[in-house]
Amino acid sequence: MGHSLSAVCLLLILGLQASAVLTQDVVEGGKCVWYGQCGQNPSTNKPANCPYSGAPQPLPAHVTPLLAAVCPELMEEIDSGNGTISTCCSEDQVMALQGQIATGVGLLQRCPSCLRNFRLTYCYLTCAPDQSLYMTVGNTSIAPDTNYTVITELDFAMSESFAEGVYDSCKDVSMPSTNEKVMSIMCGPWGSFYCNAHRWFNYMGSTSNGLAPFQINYNFVNESMDVAEEPFSRELVPCDMKPSNSSRECSCMDCQRACPVPPEPPADGLDWLHKEIIYGVLCLSVVLVWCIVLLCSIFGKVPSSELHLHCPCPGRAGHRISDGIRCFFVSWGTGVGRHPWLVMVSSIAVVVALSCGIMHLEVTTDPVELWASPGSQSRVEKTYFDEQFEPFYRTEMLIIRPVGLKPVEQITPDGVKLWGPVFNKEFLKAVADIQNYIENEVIGEDNTTLSDICYKPLSPVNFHCTIQSVMNYFQNDPSNLDIGSVSSLGYNVTYLDHLDVCFRNPVSPEDPTVSLPCLGTYGGPVFPYTAFGGFLKNHSTDLGVNPAYSEATALVITFVVNNHLNKSLNLPAAAWEKAFLSYVRNISNPMLDIAFSAERSVQDELQRESQGDVFTILISYVLMFTYIVFSIGQFSGCKRLLVDSKVTLGLCGVLIVLVSVTAAVGVYALAGVPATLIIIEVIPFLVLAVGVDNMFLLVSGLQRAERLPTETSAEQLGRVLGEVAPTLLISTGSEAACFFLGALSPMPAVRAFALYAGLALTIDFLLQITCFLSVLYLDHARQEGNRVDVLCCVKLSTPPPLTKNDGLLYRFMRDYYGPLLSKRGVKAFVIIAFSVWSMTSLPFISSVEIGLDQELSMPEDSYLLKYFHYLGDYLSVGPPVYFVLKPGLDFSQGLEEQNKVCGTADCAKESLVMQLYMASRIANRSSIARPASSWIDDYMSWSIYNMGENDYDNPCCRVYENGSFCPATDDESYCENCDIQIADDGLRPTPDSFNKYISFFLEDIPSMWCPKAGHAAYGNAVNVVAGDNESDPSVSSSYFMTYHTILRTSRDYYTALAHAREIAKNITTEVNQGRPDNSSTIEVFPYSVFYVFYEQYLTIFEEAAFSVFISVSTVFVVMFLFSGFDFYSSMIVSVGLIVLLTNMAGCMYWFDVSLNAVSLVNIIMSVGIFVEFLSHMVFAYAHVDHPDPNHRMVVALAETGSSVLAGITMTKIVGVSVLAFAHSQIFQVFYFRMYLFIIVLGAAHGLIWMPVLLSILGCQATSPTYPPLKPSITSTAHHNSNNDSKATAPTGGKYIPASSPRASAHRFTQINHGFYSSAENPEEITSSSDSRKSRAADGASSNGVVHAASPENFDDKTLLVDHAMSGSDVTVRRGGVNYGSNSNDNASDVL
């Protein structure tokens, strides 16, 4: 709690005048008004002075040194040099003067000029030889103890300018232990905010402060006033000047006039808006130029030959790679078909064994472990702080708002004053009852009470818990709200007057109007900005000089509980917090609206959230599984529905997806890599997306493939796998590699996700080409055997259809959708629409909001949502921040080392404390709200307190005979003063004495006798280690605490972190200035509890860019290698990924999805899904061998687009739609909304934008080479008598319908892929056209000769050969014998 209860317990308020004053009538020439002490003032029971109107009396010689030490300025003025000094004070008065100003000296000595000016008043008041010129006796009484006349009231005429000058020189002096000004104590009920010169002197002269021996009435005389008496005045020294040549000027921390002008904020050059405009214009220009080029190509303004990508052949090495991959999968598929049961059982056994590792699974839910890398700066600093100083306190908080209550009226001398409804007495009593019940009656499961776990700063002297609450102004007793009295003006004094006093001076030990302290029962202050809320208007972050606390609209109660590095020691606190939350939830009072939180609340709610949406997630997956089961495959008719059904196959495919995830989790569980809830929630979605797409491609490929007459079922499976699997390998391999490289991310949650996702995708692919392929083979055999799905023993008599049904989506893509995209107008619309889309995304990438507001991480019915909302609305100060000074400075080696840290006079202007003070002066730019508490400054004051040669009161530092610490409060034991040597400046101990007694300072409890004792404020702030000599300890690490300004949004939090680090960096530079080159660097770093959660946002843009770069680069490299060095196909997929990710960033901006760790995981995941949408289409297009890009686009859409649409797109839309009903807001935003972006973006770009782009850029086919061909040929192109050819390809062929606009210009011949096998007598088809040679996909040669097989070996994968180009003849011959040509009516029949 960085608040020193020291200030509290002392209320020194200068009894300094105690000995000060006693006067008689004014004597001509200036005489005394008192001399000596005659007895006790009957109204105060304190010693009072004797009236005396005679001449000054000689001061005893043995008293002269004492008076000279206490009042050097007075002695200099009255010393005549003849050895005799006459004054109006006796020896008793001088002794009393020294003791009574000691407290003021202890508080003000940080500023020498202030201390000098402050002394003048009381020195001249007590001892000046001309008192009668400005002092008169007001009243006298008879002392009850001596029966002598004593002065009870004194009138003091003081110059207005003198009073203002003294106050101005002292008003800024700080008290580091409380982060307050000393005026908060010395100005009584007015506090530092409301204090001025008149109020300060009047309070110090009033007997109501409990210290003044009699009443002093100050009459402030303006120099322009015509008065008989001459007011007291002496020359003053401003606080920014030295009182003498041997003294020092005040530091900036204690004197505003000594502070340099804060620097102007650095000019940013172009402001944010101008940067965005320039960036947007550049991006839009690029997109616009690209759009215009594409449109010109569509409408023939740019020759297509100049725009098309004329891709060179991959080359011999590329063919070898692609051929090797194809041949491997052909062989593998054939082997699986021959031994399906063996492969299936073996693969199941392996994954079951791997899945057993789940028994060792550890799920990480600790937010620190999730989002902060163990090696991150914030995590390292948090660990250091926790180990050195113990973790920051556990906090339990209530924010209470009144309901239906009106403002409270108070009658004052100035009229009626309105107080906010939170000050309603009955409301406050209800709040007190709740607070006291929590403190005394709430008991944890293990009988733990608040007293067992709370923070007690004054223990063992005071055992009350630290509770920051308005009721602590009333000592937590609701009956004290009924206090009342009548003021001297006749007005009622109520609890509101006491609150007003405590607002002005929260460290006041007593409010004399009601005889109640403002200090809490625990001995420390309750600062009103921590106990009240809602008084700052318009979301201001500045408390200002006069906060309107009386206009507060909410109360804040904070119970401070100890926290421990050993987690087991926090179990009692957690048990008590559970009981606390249970009680608060059930509070019912119509006057109270309560928001609440405990330290364990966030983790409890996150756990409840993960459990609460399990049902929603299960429904999502069940719907996706159901869709897959019933949509996979094709149906040939109602009669064969039970045979054509693929329920068993779909269910197996779904199970394979699940076990691939469990196997990956099992592997990493065995390896000790902890899982996260994100993995459990997101990876099944990702693997299902990729796995379903692959399943649809495998199933549709086998269903469309006609088995050749000489081909076995196993060979057919191998042939299909050889055609489909290379593309699956390219896409899945690139996705897995991209995720594995994504594990380079330092963020634990992202790293774990990448590792689990990469392995899950790898296992899923392996299971698909083993287990699923085996099940597919068996299911295909079942279907060919006319057996019913699921009930395989039942066989139907319905014969299979003679021709295969292509399927609804296949026909739709082939006959309608593909031809539609081929139209020029549609292409132009697509290019323009997607260009506009990109133009609305590019300029706003840098404007995506960063962070994750706490509200989004909670369930929509969580009580914390209300608490977070109230925090933003009512909290008036930010979280504490600690600037930690690591070991390295040796304070015993010289004053230079101390000056680099301290903030008092003589300290460096760029010292640690001074830099923090300067930062607090520009809080709106530094996020530092208040000056830092400084243990070193308070230690300096404490160590020399009453240690002067002429001081007779007990100093703060004393020792028992056994050498242990003796507190100043112990008046009974024999104690000796510490052997502390004071430095020449009189403000600190010498370096030799510095370390010796630091542990005593940290042990001493603040009191009136030692207001700057360090136990309360610094007990945990300084680590003292024993040196070589155990009696000579030294300071190792320490911290300096202050507060951040109010932080409401994620941006506020991570901006405050950035500011704090910048300040710490500057401090580190200054601390290390002038140190030897070979010495180690002394580090200063900031720490606050929220840093570890918000550090990620400082670099998350760079982290996201790095992750995207790694992902896209990996996809390109893997595709390039596995595709046989197909550069252009790999590049166009990579470009497509960049466009997709750009548009996704635009969607995040427009639909208010912030960039954080959760969305970053989704972005990385989206790369894998986008690859599925793009790669299959691009490589399908690349392998269609035809010169017409439109034709190739249609074929790719029909064969691949239908599977992409039916598989990944529809499956995900079904699953994602359910997430809209999730209770968790984080699910609604980052899973439903963001997943919907991913699916819609992927489908739109993969099925609309990419086909159109491919048809415009038109890269040549990159079909692999094949072995020599069998001597046979077949064709399905029939040439009619009027030369109007119409293509009627068999089912499953690469077919362009007659309705296509391109069909009238071309004649297509289908060449079977199965023709490509070794043969001795190849058949040749030769085109007579040299300009446009017809090529056979998978087998065309450069001379236009196509090798074919016998007609009976016709396969479903056929080749379209254009044989109706202008001037082109097709000749068919076998062994040199011509069978016909396209000029011969028999040519088509021969073909």
Q: Which residue has the higher pLDDT, 33 or 1226?
A: 33
pLDDT by residue (tens digit) across 426-485? 999 999 999 999 999 999 988 999 999 999 988 888 899 999 999 999 999 999 999 887
DSSP class of 19: G
Record the tokens describing residue 39, joined without a space. 């007895």
Question: Beta 215-221 vs 149-159: how paired, if at all?
Answer: parallel
Q: Would you call 1152 exposed, middle or buried from its count of C-beta atoms within 10 A (0-12, 13-18, 19+)? A: exposed
Give yes or no for a contact between 662 and 803, defined as CB atoms under 8 angstroms apart.
no
What confidence category does residue 1315 fall into, taking pLDDT thresholds of 50, 70 and 90? very low
Tokens linked to 1355: 């396969």
Whether pLDDT at 1307 is above 70? no
Asked if residue 842 lies in contact with residue 1146, where contact means CB atoms within 8 angstroms, the answer is yes
pLDDT surpasses 80 at 1259: no
CA distance to 410, 886, 917, 1239, per residue, from 1072 (Å) = 57, 12, 19, 55
- Say if residue 1314's pLDDT is above 70: no
Query: Under 8 Å CB-to-CB from 568, ≥6 apart: which residues?
Result: none
Conformation bin of residue 315: beta by default, left when phi > 0, alpha when psi is -120 to 50: left
pLDDT tens across 1337-1350, in order?
333 333 333 333 33
Q: Is the pLDDT of residue 919 over 50?
A: yes
Q: What is the structure's pLDDT at 1120?
A: 85
Give dist(CA 711, CA 715) in Å, integer. 6
Select the more confidently predicted residue: 1186 or 201: 201
Sign of CA dihedral 299, 301, 305, 310: negative
1023, 1027, 1033, 1035: CA torsion to nearest 10:
-40
Q: What local confidence, expressed as pLDDT, does residue 803 receive?
A: 61
* Nearest CA-CA partner of 364 in 893, 922, 778, 748: 748
Question: What amino acid is encoded at 313 in this protein?
Answer: C
Measured between alpha carbons, how far is 202 from 1324 in angstroms, rounded to an integer? 119
Per-residue pLDDT for 1016 more than 50? yes
What one-character DSSP code corresponds to residue 1155?
B
Distance CA 1205, CA 562 (A): 58
Q: Per mean pLDDT, which of 509-513, 591-595, 839-843, 1130-1134 is the most reliable?
A: 591-595
The encoded tokens of residue 1092 equal 């570890």
The reported pLDDT for the residue numbered 1346 is 36
Tell me the C-alpha distance between 474 and 215, whole Å. Answer: 28
The conformation of residue 1224, written as its DSSP 8-state character, comes to B
Alpha-carbon distances, residue 787 vs 637, 704, 913 (angstroms): 15, 19, 86
DSSP codes, 685-726: HHHHHHHHHHHHHHHHHHHHPPPPTT--HHHHHHHHHHHHHH
Q: What number is the average pLDDT over the span 378-396? A: 91
| Residue environment code for 169-196, b if the CB has 16+ CB neighbours within 10 A, otherwise e | bbbbbbbbbbbbbbbbbbbbbbbbbbbb
pLDDT of residue 1269: 32
Where does residue 318 rank: exposed (0-12), middle (13-18), buried (19+ CB within 10 A)?
A: buried
pLDDT of 52 > 50? The answer is yes
pLDDT of residue 988: 83
Q: With a threshold of 0.85, does the pTM exceed it?
A: no
Q: Indicate the pLDDT class of residue 290, thresholds 50, 70 and 90.
A: low
Confidence class for position 85, pLDDT limits 50, 70, 90: confident
DSSP 3: -
Which pair of tokens denotes residue 1098? Answer: 């400082």
| Polymer length of the chain | 1391
One-letter amino acid for residue 1230 of the chain: F
- Measured CA to CA, the distance from residue 1161 to residue 915 in angstroms comes to 40
**pLDDT > 90? residue 1038:** yes
What's the rounded mean pLDDT across residues 16-44?
Answer: 65
Whether 1305 shows a pLDDT value over 50: the answer reads: no
Per-chain mean pLDDT for the chain: 78
Question: How confident is the model over 119-131, as pLDDT tens digits?
Answer: 898 899 999 999 9
The pLDDT value given to residue 157: 92
List the one residue out of 607, 721, 729 whose CA is nearest residue 1171.
729
Residue-wise pLDDT tens digits, 853-876: 878 778 778 899 999 989 888 888
SS3 438: helix
Q: Residue 65: which residues within 8 A CB-CB, separation 6 or more? A: 950
Per cent of the chain over pLDDT 70 is: 80
- How far is Cα of residue 38 from the mean position of the Cα atoms in its chain? 69
Number of H helices, E strands in the chain: 52, 35
Predicted local confidence at residue 841, as pLDDT: 84
Q: Which pLDDT belongs to residue 207?
A: 85
Identify the pLDDT of residue 521. Answer: 92
Structure tokens at 1025: 């280690």
